[in-house]
Amino acid sequence: WRGSSSPGMDTRGIQDPADYYYRRVFTDAVRAVDAARTHPSVDPARIVIAGGSQGGGIALAAAALSDDVSAALVNQPSLCHYRRALQVVEGNAYREIWTYLRTHRESAERVFRTLSYFDGVNFAARAHAPALFSAALMDDICPPSTVFAAYNHWSGPKDIRVWPWNRHEGGGYFQDLEQLRFLRGLPGLGATR
């Protein structure tokens, strides 16, 4: 990457979409799906992409960019609706961007342009697999409004579980059970023999 960045990974190459750190991360995620599909122990017709927090944002991108994904399980995804997230939280990954913008004020629109290429909301609009999302209403790391933005833009069949009293841990074990029920209800993914 070129240019300056804040400590951490979220601002590496943030001035240009071609150099941005998540470009490589999302490419790796898609390649991981491709690699899994070729493994002899994997049924390529039953690929499910799952992740939470940063992994949820990566799962959004991988589901949108991979062909023939059977389902996506997306828990409290970060990397969604960056501008909104930066308006309501300053913690964790968003803190890196917030810190960068405090010292590179003149670059704000350029930064948000780069981030738009990697925003889970934009990937959600390209995704067609059935998806189960989760949002925790007291989450101060991945604000629920940003999760709902991605969920509302998901173009495939979708459902969401909302955990009103939870923070970033979301539904925890209870969400795991919801995900199993969701997958069992999908054609081709339910219980077999």
**Catalytic residue annotation:** 53, 139, 168
CB 160 within 8 A of CB 76: no
For residue 165, count CB atoms less than 10 angstroms from its CB and return exposed for 0-12, middle for 13-18, buried for 19 or more: exposed
Collapsing DSSP to helix, strand or coil, 148 comes out as helix
Give the residue from 44, 127, 134, 123 showing the smallest Cα distance to 79: 123
Number of residues that make up the chain: 193
DSSP one-letter string for 35-83: HHHHSTTS-TT--EEEEETHHHHHHHHHHHHSSS--EEEEES--SSSHH
In 10 A of CB 44, how many CB atoms?
13
Which residues neighbour 127 within 8 Å (Cβ) at sequence distance 6 or greater? 60, 63, 64, 72, 154, 155, 156
Residue 52 bridge partners (DSSP): 75
